[in-house]
Amino acid sequence: MYHNTINRIYNTDSQTHLNSPKIIVFKPLLILIGIFIWTMDSATAQDPVLPPTNLGMANVYDGMAGKPGFIYQSYVQVFRAQNYYDQFGTKKQTDFKLHSLSNVQQLIYLSPVKLLGGTLAFTAIVPIVQLSATRTGGDRPLINSSVLGDIIEGTAIQWSDKKLFGKPFSHRAEFDISFPLGNFDHQYDINPSFHAWTFSAYHAFTMILNSRMSISSRNQINYNGTYIDTKDKAGSFYNGNYSIDFSIVPAMKVELVAYYLKQITPDKHDGSSHYYQDAFGIDNTKETALGFGPCIAYFSPGRTLIEAKVFFETAENNRFSGYRPTIRVAVPLMKQ
């Protein structure tokens, strides 16, 4: 079974336990949509982790869409782990490091079909993930070298060119399903597939404040199924992206961007949310994360969007913290 007990390890005072390969496990880095990590203990079920989600992948003009047709988006995100924070938000010492390079491919189809005052849209997301791990004081986990993450399908309604408080306002509601179809093999400690179903719903919007400024936000709720072939289930959680931008010139914007993740319900084993407290002394299994940083966005004459940004994380619980350089490219495949 695949799970995680780093909270239990950090709650023990024995340094020999930290160096024992029989109980060494590592808190996964839930890096982005398409990165799915947890670790293995062959004897007992332990604290599961949250699945991947959109942490700062899309910001500027996130609630907007063009004319009916296809839109292609590509996201490249690097995560560099710096520190681990336990269930109390206390930084802990660890010599385990995990780094990721992720490339997420997305195809969007905005149809001409009208529904509830908006237009019906569909999307498919394919994550490609490369992971590497280092540890100076002990064995490293076994990483599956296959790179295909779980495929996501979404159905949405897009409302464009609306008004809110007299300001131009575009927004979208979407329901997504993450299918556990990525590469997974029980012999590895870290796999590209989360190995469970995830169901998500989000609302994204963009409001144009004036000729130079706009704000955008995406707010998402996620429900997780039980890990396949186990009794472990990660809790439900919220994640959100936020941005405010200012135009330097018509084709270029500078932004202040942020994301936030908050686990809402505790993790469960065999339907019990008290299992991890009773078995391992983990009182709080919920994860939190906050990242913020600068961004610059450029619109080409053909309306291709290039968004480059970096997030610095803080206020973590039950997670590693680090920084995330991110590039987003959006290309309309229809005439504007």
Question: What does pLDDT average to in each consecutive run of 10 residues of the chain (336 residues)?
Answer: 35 31 28 31 50 90 92 93 82 78 94 96 95 75 86 97 95 97 87 91 98 97 93 94 96 97 93 86 90 96 93 88 93 78
For 100, the token pair is 């990721």
pLDDT of 136: 76
* Helix residue ranges, H only, the chain: 6-10, 15-18, 275-280
The pLDDT of residue 335 is 64
For the chain, the domains span 2-332
- For residue 17, the model assigns a pLDDT of 30
In this prediction, residue 259 carries a pLDDT of: 97
The predicted pLDDT at position 336 comes to 56
Per-residue model confidence (pLDDT) at position 21? 26
pLDDT value, residue 25: 27
pTM: 0.83
289 neighbors 55 (Cβ within 8 angstroms): yes
Strands, DSSP E only, in 28-68?
39-40
Q: Which of 47, 37, 35 is nearest to 5 (CA)?
A: 47
Distance, C-alpha 87 to centroid of its chain: 20
Measured distance CA(314)–CA(50) in Å, rounded: 18
* CATH architecture of the region 2-332: Beta Barrel (2.40)
